[in-house]
Amino acid sequence: MTFLLALIVLLSLLSFLLKNSFYPHSWAGVAAFCLALAVWLAIPWLTRLPAATVASWTTSPDRMLDGAVCIVLEVALMAAFCFSRPAGRLRLLTFYPGLLAFPAICWAWLQLLISRPGIHFGRFAWIAALVTMLVAFGGSRLIRRLVPEEQARLEGLFLINLFLLLLSVAATGAITF
């Protein structure tokens, strides 16, 4: 289950980076800043979040179902973006950066927090926010540079989201059954 969850987190983040790669620099910067700000604000809350509670979510069918619904909605939006972008329709979806990245990156930071006893929480929040911003901005720019063809990125985004959907279904199913 942990492996599945890690995979979901990774794909969510990739999806975010891919989605942001369609933005100009300034928008990508704003999106990265917003994510970093959210992370910075969320770290104090994360430090008070018992690992057992997080672990219990992954074994709770209710919680996993909630998560699956969120993923399905995100995937639906991303899929819609993938199909509408070439036709130039549903432009509003362009501005949606992908919200799943936030819980995903929070989960990732929480795992790091848990594995690093003794770390200074305040300093950690700043570093986490900075790293988030750099990765979010730099990652999307790097993808744009490495894969300049928009169609290819769209296909990648679609495939990743499709995979994300399957994984979430598998994870929910594993808990439920």
Is residue 177 close enough to count as binding another protein by CB under 8 A?
yes
Nearer to another protein, 60 or 94 (CB): 60
Binding residues among 22-61 for another protein as defined by CB under 8 A? 46-53, 55, 60-61
Choices 20-28, 34-42, 69-77, 134-142; region in contact with another protein by CB under 8 A: 69-77
For helices 2-20 and 121-146, give the axis angle rounded to 10 degrees.
60
Q: Is residue 151 at the binding interface for another protein, with CB under 8 A as the rule?
A: no
CA 83 to chain centre: 20
If binding is defined by CB under 8 A, does position 114 make contact with another protein?
yes
Q: Residue 62, exposed/middle/buried by CB under 10 A (0-12, 13-18, 19+)? A: exposed
* Residues near another protein, by CB under 8 A: 46-53, 55, 60-62, 65, 68-69, 72, 75-76, 83, 110, 113-115, 117-118, 121, 165, 169, 172-173, 176-177
